[in-house]
Amino acid sequence: MLHQEIAQDWGEKIARSLNQSSNEAIAAAAAIASAQFDLVRARQARFAVTNIRLTVGVSGSSADTNILQELRFDRYERRAMSRRKKAIAQLMALLARNSEAEG
| Domain coordinates in residue numbering, the chain | 2-102
What's the maximum distance between 2 C-alpha atoms anywhere in the chain? 64
Q: In this prediction, what percent of the chain has a pLDDT beyond 90?
A: 37
Q: How many CB atoms lie within 10 A of CB 101?
A: 7
Is the overall model pTM greater than 0.85, yes or no?
A: no
CA distance 98 to 15: 13
CA distance 47 to 36: 16
pLDDT at 61 over 90: no
